[in-house]
Structure 1
């Protein structure tokens, strides 16, 4: 399968570098470039990419707003945000909006290529270590008190909608486990794990497994039943 990729970044040197790095792969087709988030809807309609590699900071419409608008549309492409920070509240906003993950601009070319391929295949870009780092960042930024308790109660209530096996899979996703790791730990086949993840997303109205991880963390369950 050829992956149709749209690159959106206001820096021409970054766009040129990404095009040079990614365009040589046999399974990647750079279908176009954008310079601002305001260009994204028209570009997506015209070029029909599978994945959008989206910068966060752009002059008119930032990548966060563009991601929110794009993921609100049915059948839209997956989005990977580009950032210069490991743990940035803006990255978290993008993930909650439905971005499939993020990569750093100084990430080695081979890893950026692998990230695009993984997202196109339906897997998250975030590694378990990065997922845990983001979870810690969220926790550190939240004030104590009633708002935190309310958030936790609301997240726990949503997870209570899941069947027992689905909940086990959700908790494993929340700890950053891959599908293969979940399958081994819970004695499931890989297709069964993927089916459970799809059902969890549908039941909870989420876009991707990163959002499952955020919800598990909101419920205060990311450190429970840690056997994976």
Structure 2
């Protein structure tokens, strides 16, 4: 949700970055923990040369790295996004003043609402799960593709492993062929979703749009006050 003060915006950006890092860190922690557990149970040399502390570190360090990397990336992305929205708000305020002089019958709020609707977003009453998924897929297509392709390839190999008449090399070959086909289909699907989002814009709620309008009103008020101060200084 778009906030109206710089402090609230900074808190919002920090929260989004933290949540992004926690989510990706969790998705990394699960396979890393499973890998360490599997190695402990099936590789005697690994079990003999490691202890509980080192195994815990090997399970946690990848997740901590992914948490730090993705949260920092999300922080940078959100800061750029907030800067873009602020720049758009300032330009809209100036554009609206010009339009008001040409179209006296229209209101400032209507101009601001039109500007937001034409800024590359799709306004909906509430963000449902598919809206959130589409927004996430548009911002993180590689992550979505990886989260779908890796389990799919693993499931294909699991299905091949049950066929005892096949040699290991044949199982790997079947997995590679079917896995490439499945990954290609997933890639086309994700790219199709991204193309759809690029054309229709990011989904935001009516409340988000309303708060952006309020922010524009605030910026207009500050701009008018600055003009009044400048005029007073010139008359002195």
TM-score, normalization: structure 2?
Answer: 0.26
Question: 1 or 2, which has the higher strand percentage?
Answer: 1
Q: Which has more radius of gyration?
A: 2
Question: 1 or 2, which has the higher helix percentage?
Answer: 2
TM-score, normalization: structure 1?
Answer: 0.26
